[in-house]
Amino acid sequence: MDAGDLGSRNLAVTWVEVPPGAEQRAHSHAESEQVYVIVHGRGRMSVAGDVEEVGEGDLVFIPPATQHGIVNHGSEPLVYVAAASPPVSMQELYSAELAPDVADYVEDQ
């Protein structure tokens, strides 16, 4: 759900599936705070240099302008929902490939 979808003006929500061995590289959003809610699988999340294991049901808060990323080090997909406010455009969220080094991975765009 990008800014403006379904009448949203102040929120962007994404559903992300990270294949085994893939990662969302460290990045930040200057103005937006975010939450990640882990729906399925396990991974390792880095926020401002602090690295923690995450799994189903965990919620991680990311303040604005804070470096963050997530790695799926498991054997099954890691699935999470991320919400950002103010909204981050889908173009900004997906400007870098999620898993360029994983064999047989095809980025949906």
Q: Dump pLDDT digits (tens) for 63-97.
A: 999 999 999 999 999 999 999 998 876 566 555 55
Tell me the CATH number at 26. Answer: 2.60.120.10
Full-model pTM? 0.78
In tens, the pLDDT along 8-50 reads 678 888 899 999 999 999 999 999 999 999 999 999 999 999 9
Q: Which domain holds residue 72?
A: 16-81
Query: 1 in a domain, yes or no?
Result: no
Q: Is residue 76 part of a domain?
A: yes
pLDDT: is 51 or 106 the higher one? 51
Count of domains in the chain?
Answer: 1
Q: Is 94 within the bounds of a domain?
A: no
Q: Is residue 50 part of a domain?
A: yes
Q: What is the 3-state secondary structure (H, E, C) of the chain?
A: CCCCHHHCCCCEEEEEEECCCCEEEEECCCCCEEEEEEEECEEEEEECCEEEEEECCCEEEECCCCCEEEECCCCCCEEEEEEEECCCCHHHHCCCCCCCCCCCCCCCC
Task: Note whether residue 41 is domain-resident.
Answer: yes
Mean pLDDT of 98-105: 53
Whether 44 is covered by a domain: the verdict is: yes
Beta-sheet pairing, 42-47 with 68-71: antiparallel
Can you give the pLDDT at residue 104? 56
pLDDT value, residue 84: 93
Q: What pLDDT was estimated at residue 10?
A: 82
Domain-embedded: residue 89: no
Q: Within a domain: residue 102?
A: no
pLDDT at 109: 43
